[in-house]
Amino acid sequence: MKPDKAFEPRSAVKKLMREARAGALATLMAGDGDPYCSLVNVASAADGAPLLLLSALAVHTKNIVADPRVSLMLDERREGDPLEGARVMLMGCAAVSANPEDRRRYLARQPEAEMFAGFSDFAVYRVAVARAHLVAGFGRIVDLKAGDILTEVADAAALLAAEAAAVAHMNADHADTLRLYATRLLGAPDGDWRCAGCDPEGLELQLGRTAFRLPFPQRVTEPGALRHMLKTLADQARAA
């Protein structure tokens, strides 16, 4: 069988991590260690690490407090047989995040959570990914390390500091451009697409609970480069 040259597992996992808005969280029951699985909403930190908003009253949260080891499965959630779509299992440890940017990024992707995110029993948890297991179809099963799938952000402090303002500007003043990105560059259905966030490697577009990842052809690490990249992509979308 010839190798699939078009398949790039690192990119496939990064796409799943950025586009997922829900996943299956596996924890270990406090006390007896029995496996426990629950459905959770998901967002991503600047480097792609999964972010969860959990209540201290939930069983999975009590399990994490007793043993932080978790697995989180994300999938494409596409129509048809779910086993024909790509899915990834991320393995690592979950812990409360004190970073206000993690909370902001979560709410940008899960805006309905704003009404209860401030309750005293809720906190944002960040999953420190150690490794991943990707299943993306026949002959497309790959094990990856964290360094393969997380986005480098150490050189992008200027971009991350400007991200919230850039996203707000795009949503307020360039809604038509966001729609062009989605429909002409990504083949998404027409609608009122908004920008949910960006990072050095791409832009997240969201319509309701559907998210699409628009990858950048080159890394960007500061606001000027981001503006140039977005203009270039807009020109490509208009020409498409």
Per-domain boundaries in the chain: 9-149, 157-239
Confidence of residue 236 (pLDDT cuts 50, 70, 90): very high
User: Please, what is the average pLDDT of the chain?
Assistant: 95
Fold of 9-149: Pnp Oxidase; Chain A (2.30.110)
The residue-averaged pLDDT of 61-80 equals 92
Rounded to 5 degrees, φ, ψ at 199 are: -150, 180
Evaluated on CA atoms 82, 18, 126, 112, the torsion sign reads negative
User: Where does the pLDDT of residue 2 fall: very low under 50, low under 70, confident under 90, or very high at 90 and above?
Assistant: very low
Is 3.90.1150.10 the CATH classification of the domain at 157-239? no
Domain 9-149 identical in fold to domain 157-239: no
pLDDT, tens digit (0-9, with 9 covering 90-100), for 89-139: 999 999 999 999 999 999 999 999 999 999 999 999 999 999 999 998 777
Global pTM reads 0.93
182 pLDDT above the threshold of 50? yes
Query: How far from 98 is each of 95, 104, 135, 140, CA to CA, in Å?
Result: 10, 12, 33, 37
pLDDT of residue 137: 79
